[in-house]
Structure 1
Amino acid sequence: MNELAVVPLIVLLLLALLVVVAIFRAVRRVPQSYAIIVERLGKFQAEYGAGLHFLIPFVDSVRNTVDLREQVVSFPPQPVITSDNLVVSIDSVIYYQVTDPKRATYEIASFLQAIEQLTITTLRNVIGAMDLEQTLTSRDQINGQLRGVLDQATGRWGIRVSNVELKSIDPPASIQGAMEQQMRAERDRRAAILTAEGVKQSQILTAEGDKQSAILRAEGQAQSAILRAQGESRAILQVFDAIHRGNADPKLLAYQYLQTLPKIANGSSSKMWIVPTEFTAALDGIAGALGGDRPSGPSPDQPGGQDGDQGAGVDLSDTEVDLGIASDLAATSLPTPEEALAQARGEAQTALQEASEDRVPGAGAPGSSASRAPGAGEG
């Protein structure tokens, strides 16, 4: 009895287990961006997208689960020969996406391996028509040709190739060394050219600066000399005009000369004395003022010979000037002060006219002041 009761219990347990397995196989949950290929008794039944789907247990089966997202595959470097018989190593990256899961499952056994082989053969055909220089500088052109060929071939498999990129193009080591030497030589040549241009510009600017500096310096010296000559000429004119208008007494002039002689003698570099031409006549007046010998009669061209100047004189009693030299110089025959003054005024007028003609040819302003000097003397 106990054995007969255990057998039905085991059968019920097996049925319950079978029901659970059937339910598990009948219910399929498909994630987003995925698709499943369902076969019924070995034949294509349906293509199910994302969601919950119910299958017939032990009748329907899932053949393949396809990822519908865009995939990225990097292929290992492949040796490729260029048109100039150089072997370069190129590795590429493919971006593809499955657009038709049914054809990607039934049209080709392994679409990923097919894409890799098709990429290698197409890359060799494209690179074989280019030399090394074109290969290194034509990445965009190579990518476009590869994508066109791959997209056309994989379209019937339900796959779309969106992009093809070449990660690296590695020429042989010897070629890389030669390219580096060429680039280094080119950079050295450019550096030498730039250095020479810089030195040239620097020398040109330096020469122009020296030229401008010399011109400005010469102009400054010329203007300075002109202004200095004008100042000296005007000072001479003003001094002679002032002396003539003041009608200075020869005795006063001689007294000023006597006061200046000790200062000239005290100079460390004084080697000789300069005695004016009218100094002798002035000393005669001083000697007469001090009680010495005077001329017997007044000079017709000296105003001191008039009656109004009989009592005029210069008091030198408080001075320490040695008058011994006055008596020595009194015997010397020299021009009178009026003659020396007229001669100096003429020389100053001539110098002023020459300076004015050198500065502004034809100008008569300084000459007018010089011509006014004789009129003042006549007064």
Structure 2
Amino acid sequence: MRFGRIRKDSPAGPGIIWMIPCTDDIQMMDLRTQSFNLPPQEILTKDSVTVTVDAVVYFHIQKPLHCLLNIQNNQYATELITVATLRNILGQHSLYNLLTRRESISFKCRTDIDKTTSRWGVVIERVEIKDVFLPFELQKAMAAEAEGTRVAKAKIIESEGEIKAAENLKEASQIMMENPHIMLLRYLQTLNAIASNNSATIFFPFPMDLPLVTPER
């Protein structure tokens, strides 16, 4: 700037920049990607649940002249608009959507923030929601709900297994009724399995109804 007005060769650099002392003024702009952490924000979700959200923002200066002339402090203004936009968008979602749709919510935040910061020459690269802190009572309730869901699924799987086992036993019993020799072989196989354990004692009740094997003539 010369006498407070933008020079024709602005923005200048990088490299050697010639200036006239006492008349020219140079404002240095960092064009690299910058980041800042948002302070934890307490947000009331759509289903009236209070959560604490922690996020990080990545941005860079694309148009140095816009950043110098249109805004006094670009980073501070970007932080303020990010906090306001993040609170407005997260307040429109339920807790379930907030926990399961972080990527789409982050993209929505980045798009809305970039609409405002583009007039300042600032481009928002990413808005990432790092952590969502839930109240301790809500964590306990969610854990109990998840445990109940797992128990219910386990009982359903167990009952389905019993139904399939009963169907298989029904088919096996029909096959055994058609051929009595199979029942005798199954009985002897069971006795063999029990006899393999030396610490077991087997009692045979009498009379014992066993299928009679008649030799073929």
1:93 partner SS: strand
Q: Is structure 2 residue 83 aligned with structure 1 residue 120?
A: yes
Partner of 1:356: none
Structure-1 separation of matches of 2:144 and 2:153: 14
Once the two structures are TM-superposed, the CA of residue 90 in structure 1 deviates from its matched residue by: 0.9
1:166 partner SS: strand
Report the structure, 1 or 2, having the larger helix content. Answer: 1
Once the two structures are TM-superposed, the CA of residue 179 in structure 1 deviates from its matched residue by: 0.8
- The AA in structure 1 aligned to 2:115 is Q
What are the Cα deviations for residues 92-145 of structure 1, in whole angstroms up to 9, with x where unaligned?
222212111111122112111111111221122222223323332332342232
Provide closer, same or farther for how the CA distance between residues 219 and 107 of structure 1 changes in structure 2, counting only shifts above 3 A: closer
Structure-2 separation of matches of 1:175 and 1:92: 21
Structure-2 separation of matches of 1:47 and 1:178: 58
Partner of 1:228: 216
Structure 2 stretches lacking a partner, 5+ long? 185-212
Partner of 2:31: 68
Taking the TM superposition and a 5 Å limit, the aligned residue runs for 1:319-330 are none
Partner of 2:172: 209
Partner of 2:162: 199
1:188 partner SS: helix
Taking the TM superposition and a 5 Å limit, the aligned residue runs for 1:136-155 are 136-155=99-118
C-alpha contact 2:38 2:83 (8 A) present in aligned 1: no
Partner of 2:17: 53
2:86 partner SS: helix
Once the two structures are TM-superposed, the CA of residue 71 in structure 1 deviates from its matched residue by: 2.2
Partner of 1:132: 95
Once the two structures are TM-superposed, the CA of residue 219 in structure 1 deviates from its matched residue by: 8.4
Partner of 1:43: 5
Taking the TM superposition and a 5 Å limit, the aligned residue runs for 1:86-101 are 86-101=49-64
What are the Cα deviations for residues 245-270 of structure 1, in whole angstroms up to 9, with x where unaligned?
xxxxxxxxxxxxxxxxxxxxxxxxxx
Q: Please tell me the root mean square deviation across aligned C-alpha atoms, in Å.
A: 2.6
- The AA in structure 1 aligned to 2:34 is Q
Once the two structures are TM-superposed, the CA of residue 65 in structure 1 deviates from its matched residue by: 1.6
Taking the TM superposition and a 5 Å limit, the aligned residue runs for 1:1-379 are 39-45=1-7, 46-62=10-26, 64-218=27-181, 228-229=216-217
- The AA in structure 2 aligned to 1:60 is D
Structure-1 separation of matches of 2:167 and 2:38: 60
1:61 partner SS: coil
Q: Scaled by the length of structure 2, what TM-score is found?
A: 0.74
Once the two structures are TM-superposed, the CA of residue 58 in structure 1 deviates from its matched residue by: 4.2
Structure-2 separation of matches of 1:73 and 1:217: 81
What are the Cα deviations for residues 216-269 of structure 1, in whole angstroms up to 9, with x where unaligned?
445899xx85x823xxxxxxxxxxxxxxxxxxxxxxxxxxxxxxxxxxxxxxxx
Q: Scaled by the length of structure 1, what TM-score is found?
A: 0.45
Structure-1 separation of matches of 2:119 and 2:174: 82
| Identity score, percent | 29
Larger Rg: 1
- The AA in structure 2 aligned to 1:55 is M
Structure-1 separation of matches of 2:143 and 2:160: 26
Once the two structures are TM-superposed, the CA of residue 180 in structure 1 deviates from its matched residue by: 0.9
1:147 partner SS: helix
